[in-house]
Chain A
């Protein structure tokens, strides 16, 4: 397969960036999107040009490193996959593909397609943990948790912190991410202990990082590679309301 690529190039955080055109040819339909970029980078190396910087690590959809806004959608046109799990067979032969970094002022560009998502880490550090020692593994039945609740908490915990929700949101809101992180604790008894301060602190940090507000468009839920649902945002809103009333 052949593709025309329009890729955002930007030398450094403060440099002026722009879209540049590239061509790749003879790409197998079973090539992953990142492998296709590897092929392009190899060509650039052979020509002595600067390679295109993009984030990646596990390449199996669990680490949350890969990003990319592909043809106007975070992680590309397929649902429930990260960019590394996207294959070129999802595109048409000869198609033009736009590749841009995840954009939000809270995610400043480092170089080309690489953005700095440490704002998410700071939100996590503001409350996304239990501060007390949970000890070593106890008997599984010491704390009884019904199947439904356990499954819901696990669903929330699936969030890999990739930032696609922010990139997709017209407001650059981080509420899906933050609500998943709030929920994975809020649903379980151990997480209730610090539930009040957790949600207050995490939302405060989220606001300080400069993410936008939520308009409930639901775009995040559609583009999230892990299928984190809007129910998490509603839960966070409830938690925050209750926490604010408690003070």
Chain B
């Protein structure tokens, strides 16, 4: 790696900043999804806004895609570099003696999330792009023209138990990833002070509550078919 990302610490900052961005995005995503549990109309309105607002579509969305790709590519780069720093492994290594499972397996929880993102793209993002930009239908209306289509599409997707199972599992991995990752990102950015204890609690709360909400939303639709 050259230029601005040539130093190990610069790579850490980049990793943490991209992660903060993804964490912020997830908060918005879960908020919109939550609407689908309480009000079909509110969910449709919010989805239509997110799906057609030019600022979100043409500025935030590319930034988000860049952020995700950057994060996992950098994750792979770090993993490869770190692995190659010890070419002969220990015969006996007691990793659990000094670090959590989550912190030692970020690449595996990350890979599970990546697999989910592929599924999620096939499920929602590609059809969405297809409807809006290939077929040029930005009306957001159902085929029969009676109301907005977003809630219907979401609700239908969660009728398949396999898909719901995959979603639930993926969000468990997201929780594991964030249980270590969120507080780690603060440390990477150099924050470790008298507030760290309470920050760790907040990040733990986020890491459990946000994935749990996604799981609850998926199960809600599955059981209310």
What is A's interface to B at a CB cutoff of 8 Å? 6, 8, 19, 69, 71-73, 77, 98, 100, 103-106, 168, 170-173, 175, 203-204, 206-207, 210-219, 222-223, 230-231, 233-241, 244
Instruction: Check if B106 is an interface residue, CB within 8 A of chain A.
Output: yes
Query: Which of chain A's residues have a CB closer than 8 A to the CB of B106?
Result: 215
With A213-B78, A238-B190 in contact, do A73 and B94 touch (Cβ < 8 Å)?
A: yes
Name the residue of chain B whose CB is nearest to the CB of A222.
B98
Q: Are B98 and A203 touching (Cβ within 8 A)?
A: no
Cβ < 8 Å to A, chain B residues 174-225: 180, 184, 187-193
Name the residue of chain A whose CB is nearest to the CB of B192.
A234
Q: Are A72 and B90 touching (Cβ within 8 A)?
A: yes
Query: Which of chain B's residues have a CB closer than 8 A to the CB of A207?
Result: 6-8
Instruction: Check if B84 is an interface residue, CB within 8 A of chain A.
Output: yes
Q: Are A172 and B86 touching (Cβ within 8 A)?
A: yes
Q: Are B192 and A72 touching (Cβ within 8 A)?
A: no
Q: Are A170 and B82 touching (Cβ within 8 A)?
A: yes
Cα–Cα distance between A206 and B12 once the two chains are bound (Å): 15
Q: Are A216 and B97 touching (Cβ within 8 A)?
A: no
| Interface bin, chain B | 35 or more
Most buried by B among A69, A103, A235: A103
Which 7 A-B residue pairings sit nearest by Cβ, starting from the closest? A72-B94, A234-B192, A238-B190, A171-B82, A212-B85, A222-B98, A237-B190
Q: Kindly provide the distance from the CB of A120 to the nearest chain B CB, expressed in whole angstroms.
A: 15
Cα–Cα distance between A215 and B193 once the two chains are bound (Å): 19
B1-29 contact mask (Cβ, 8 Å, vs A): 1 or 0: 00000111111110000000000000000
Query: Which of chain B's residues have a CB closer than 8 A to the CB of A241?
Result: 9, 13, 189-190
With A6-B91, A105-B85 in contact, do A217 and B190 touch (Cβ < 8 Å)?
A: no
Query: Which of chain B's residues have a CB closer than 8 A to the CB of A170?
Result: 82, 95, 99, 104
Query: CB < 8 Å: which of A98, A104, A223, A239 contacts B86?
Result: A104
With A72-B92, A230-B192 in contact, do A172 and B99 touch (Cβ < 8 Å)?
A: no
B69-82 contact mask (Cβ, 8 Å, vs A): 1 or 0: 00000000010011
